Structures are given as C-alpha cells and as structure tokens.
Amino acid sequence: MNMSAEELLTIDPLELKFPFEIKKQISSSFQLLNKTDNYVAFKVKTTQPKKYSVRPNNGMVQPRSTCAVVVTMQAQKEAPPDMQCKDRFLVQSVVANPGATVKDINAEMFDKESGKHVEEFKMKVIYVTPRKPPSPVPEDSDEGSPPRSIESESAHSNHSEAVALKTSYLKLSEERNLALEERNRLNQELELLKRGRPKTSGRIPILYVMLFGLIGILLGYFIGS
C-alpha cells in the first residue's frame, strides 16, 4: 500500500492486475481509503480511454471512509507480446470543502496551475495468466481407483464357479423331481389298467415296461450325479 505522511488517499492495490483472455471482457478493482478528516475528491485517468471503462471515474470520499473503483477492459482480439502492457492509470486527489458531494466536483479543483495541492499516483497495468480449474475425472474412469489384487481376482473366479455349480445342481434336482412325478403317474395308470383287465390276463403291456426301464435309468443317473 502507498503510505506517506501527506497523502490524501491510500490506494490498494498499487497495480491493476487483469487475468487476460482473448475476446473476453475483464474487470479489476482497487480501493481508495481516506484516513484524514477532510472530504477528498478524486479523478481517475488512463492512457487508453477507449480500451478501459472506469466506474466511478470521479467521486468524493468522505472522512474516514473508503470508495471502490472498478476498471473494465474491453475484449481484446490478441494478446500483447510477452503479455507485457504499457497502459497506465493516474489517480488524482484534492481536498474538497466540508460536506461536498459528487455534484460539486469540477475540472478547476484539479488545476495545479491555480496553486492547489493535487496529489497524483500512477498505477501500472499487469496481465496475468488465468488459473484453469483441474479437469474432472470421468465417473467411468478407473483412474484413482485401487488396483485389484490377485486375491480379489481369485475370490471373484471362485464365486462365479460356485454360482455355476449351484445352478447345475438345481437344474438336475428339478429334472429328477419331474422324472419321479412321471414314474408315480405311470404307476397309477398301471394300477388302473390291472384293475380293469380280466384276472386271467396277467400280462403287462410292453410299452409300460419300456417306460419304467427308461425312468429307472434316468433316476439312477440323477441320483449318482
């Protein structure tokens, strides 16, 4: 901060820093602090009035108070060589009458030739490279996730085999139950046929004999597996 015994206004910061980007309007600001018991009028000038807009470009700072000044740089088509800027700002300040307002400010107040004490402070313009936020990691990316260990891979494989064996067992059990139901049904039909035939006829149809043999083979396979 600019500190001296005779200064009317303290300026903070002492340089105007702009995070420069091509084809983008950028703003920077500074504060004027009046530590005196006087009303202080100020005016802001620049070497490039068409390039910058200053709000407010003049004003009145009451005793023991502050005033914020915002400087906006118009969008630029290209960056200067080595990001160096030669633009300058000039802040002029002068003691005003007690109770003065912005309406009381005029050009004569800042006329040095009339013998008035006008303080001046020059500010440099500095272009800085804007900080870019880190790119987010996609949600489906494996970056940042802990690597799978050999134990976890083995456990995953064992789990898959257990699921497959359980599925096969359930399928075989279902087929065995169906075969048992079919055998019971054929037994019932055979009993009905026996009751309906004459007592002299004790022969069993060869078709039922073959079916019983086939079911027995299937049951033996399921039970053995």
Domain extent listing, the chain: 10-128, 171-224
Closest by alpha carbon to 125, among 214, 220, 30? 30
Q: What angle do CA 19, 69, 17 make, to 5 degrees?
A: 20
Instruction: List CB contacts of 14: < 8 A, sequence separation 6 or more.
Output: 1, 2, 123
What local confidence, expressed as pLDDT, does residue 121 receive? Answer: 96
Tell me: the pLDDT tens digits for 117-163?
Answer: 999 999 999 999 887 666 665 555 444 445 555 455 555 566 667 66
Class of domain 10-128: mainly beta
The pLDDT confidence band at residue 221, using thresholds 50, 70 and 90, is low
Q: What is the pTM of this model?
A: 0.56
The pLDDT confidence band at residue 209, using thresholds 50, 70 and 90, is low
Query: Is 142 or 57 the better-scoring residue by pLDDT?
Result: 57
What local confidence, expressed as pLDDT, does residue 60 receive? Answer: 98
